[in-house]
Amino acid sequence: MRKDFARFLPLLFLGTLFLLMNCKSKSQSEPIPPSPVDSVTAKVWLTKGDKSKLFNREADLPIKSQGSTNWPVITVDTATLLQTIEGFGAALTGSSAYLFHKKLSDGARQSVLTKLFDTVNGAGISFMRLSIGASDFSVSTYSYDDLPTSAQTDYTLQHFTMSRDTEDVIPMLKEILQMNPSITLLGSPWSPPAWMKTNGSMIGGSLKTSCYDVYADYFVKYIQQMKAQGITISAITPQNEPLYSTASYPCMSMLSSEEGAFIKDHLGPKFLSAGISTKIIIYDHNWDNITYSISILNDAGASQYIAGSAFHGYGGDVSAMSSVHTAFPGKGLYFTEISGGTWAPNFSDNLMWNMKNIFIGTTRNWSKCALMWNLALDQNGAPHENNSSTCRGVVTVNTSSGLVNYNEDYYSIIHFSKFVRPGASRIAINIPTSLNNIEAVAFKNPDGSKALIVTNYSSSMTTFSVKQGLKNFAYSIPAFSVVSITW
């Protein structure tokens, strides 16, 4: 057998040589094509209007580096950067702080704060609004300089005290800041002290012209005393809802001419001389009036101190924000208040409305933030300074059972706050007309990650592809659903 095997050795050698030469030639002339799927995938979180999935982590989507698609294509343009995002969240009202601080056990409070503010294990809420003194959702009515009678005055603010805020608001802020130290805080007053006003009451009236200067000092003192507590106030508005002064809770009329003069001649110069960098944001009222902001910004003397305009969503259309942007593209826009309530009890309808008008709506109309109203209310919509309340908190704290319910407003917020971090830029996208029941908005974070939030307003599942550069992925979004996709 050895002799027979030896006879075949030359043939075996020649055959092996042929195969090696052939393989080499093949590898040089016909390179193996790359895999159409990269190692990178897009991550998906889904909330369905029927509540069968609530911010549910779905299967990752393979990102393809080549190939065509049979689905309508949403094109993402990361080179076109639009407004910078400052954050998403809600208001830590006095009522919300009271419920967290006084009505929850330490363990329950830690759990809810984690779900709201923790950037890893929660929603990572990055922007909160505070009331400067009492709002309609406070345990009681107060300012920081209350006197026995409105006939008395305190132009040197010797009686200024934030002791009421140290009961609940400041302790809760400190707990939140331990969890998320970079959160942005916006302060808004519902009313100055009664003695500063024309009617001697915190309800209604207007600011006395003789008190413009001391009221500016009041803001300076608020910011400085918060700073002494380790709390940075990033921005203020001079007056919440200045065109609504007939409420049964703290409120005040402040016409655009009055707000402009207050900023131009008092608040702006006071901030400058005190070395305060807190932003001044004007208006803070509904979409149905754009002349208020524009008239103030037309005054260069006032405009030099103003960072932008704030809007609420109780009247008008979200497109008003784009109108102000067109008039003053260098000034920021902020959406600072909307509340859900018993008047709209359907989860799916509310989720769709929030996306269309508040979260996708405001950011596509140049807003740097989107804020809901109360972070928390109890099962009766309380505590409040009204005779009755029909508002709903982002979460409901049941004071009887101690349980916390996360409402549709929470799921609206988390789809943005979790993935669109402060400093992100909105980026341009193109949605084909064939996706007529789809709305979307996209962002690029400072770390380079992208986030696309898509809402399907129709009653049927819709499939689309997303294209960024040479890469693409596809997704089928269920009916009446919101999806956040990151890559």
Q: Kindly report, residue by residue over 208-230, the tens digit of the pLDDT.
A: 999 999 999 999 999 999 999 99
C-alpha atoms less than 13 angstroms from C-alpha of 148 in its C-beta half-sphere: 0
The single residue of 86, 241, 258, 408 carrying the catalytic annotation is 241
The pLDDT score that the predictor gives to residue 16 is 41
Number of H helices, E strands in the chain: 13, 23
Q: Kindly report, residue by residue over 53-81, the tens digit of the pLDDT.
A: 999 999 999 999 877 788 999 999 999 99
Q: Kindly report, residue by residue over 246-277, the tens digit of the pLDDT.
A: 999 999 999 999 999 999 999 999 999 999 99
Q: Before 250, cis peptide (omega within 30)?
A: no
CA pair distance 487, 479, nearest whole angstrom:
23
Q: Are 132 and 93 in contact (CB under 8 A)?
A: no
The pLDDT score that the predictor gives to residue 388 is 67
How far, CA to CA in Å, does 338 sit from each of 149, 261, 315, 371, 409?
34, 28, 10, 7, 10
Q: How many Cβ atoms sit within 10 Å of the Cβ of residue 31?
A: 8
For the four alpha carbons of 42, 48, 53 and 55, in that order, the dihedral sign comes to positive
Amino acid type, 159: H
Q: Long-range contacts for 429-438 (Cβ within 8 Å, ≥24 apart)? A: 429/74, 429/75, 429/76, 429/77, 430/74, 430/75, 430/77, 431/74, 432/72, 432/73, 432/74, 434/72, 435/72, 435/74, 435/462, 435/464, 437/462, 438/74, 438/462, 438/464, 438/477
Residue of 136, 162, 154 lying closest to 194 (CA atoms): 154
Q: What is the pLDDT averaged over residues 193-212?
A: 98
Q: Are 389 and 381 in contact (CB under 8 A)?
A: yes
For the whole prediction, is pTM greater than 0.95? no
- Contacts with 97 (C-beta within 8 Å, 6 or more apart), sequence order: 168, 169, 171, 172, 173
For the four alpha carbons of 103, 105, 106 and 108, in that order, the dihedral sign comes to negative
* Sheet of strand 395-397: strand arrangement: 376-378, 395-397, 404-406
Residues in the chain: 487
Q: Cα-flanking dihedrals φ and ψ of residue 269, to 5°?
A: -60, -35
Maximum pairwise Cα distance, the chain: 126
Q: What is the DSSP letter of 32?
A: P
The single residue of 258, 337, 385, 439 carrying the catalytic annotation is 337
Q: What is the pLDDT averaged over residues 82-98?
A: 98
pLDDT at residue 36 is higher than 70? no
Higher pLDDT, 13 or 303: 303
pLDDT at residue 386 is higher than 80? no
- Contacts with 365 (C-beta within 8 Å, 6 or more apart), sequence order: 318, 319, 320, 321, 322, 325, 333
The superfamily CATH assigns to domain 37-82+427-486 is Golgi alpha-mannosidase II (2.60.40.1180)
**In the structure, what pLDDT confidence band is assigned to residue 392 with cuts at 50, 70 and 90?**
very high
The pLDDT score that the predictor gives to residue 21 is 39
Q: Cα-flanking dihedrals φ and ψ of residue 71, to 5°?
A: -105, 155
pLDDT at residue 17 is higher than 60? no
If you write DSSP's letter for every residue of 147-185 in order, what string do you get?
-SSTT---TT-TT---TTTTTTHHHHHHHHHHH-TT-EE
**In the structure, what pLDDT confidence band is assigned to residue 389 with cuts at 50, 70 and 90?**
confident
**In the structure, what pLDDT confidence band is assigned to residue 387 with cuts at 50, 70 and 90?**
low
CA pair distance 49, 67, nearest whole angstrom:
33
Which residue, chain included where needed, has tokens 């009236």?
A: 205
The pLDDT score that the predictor gives to residue 194 is 98
What would the two tokens of residue 22 be? 């052939």
Q: Kindly report, residue by residue over 96-153, the tens digit of the pLDDT.
A: 999 999 999 999 999 999 999 999 999 999 999 999 999 999 999 999 999 999 899 9
**In the structure, what pLDDT confidence band is assigned to residue 308 with cuts at 50, 70 and 90?**
very high
In which element (H, E) is residue 73 found? strand 73-84
Which residue, chain included where needed, has tokens 């962002």?
A: 443
Q: What is the pLDDT averaged over residues 146-169?
A: 97
Q: How many Cβ atoms sit within 10 Å of the Cβ of residue 200?
A: 13
The answer to whether residue 337 is catalytic is yes
The answer to whether residue 241 is catalytic is yes
To the nearest whole number, what is the mean pLDDT of the chain?
92
Q: Class of the 86-422 domain?
A: alpha beta
pLDDT at residue 37 is higher than 90? no
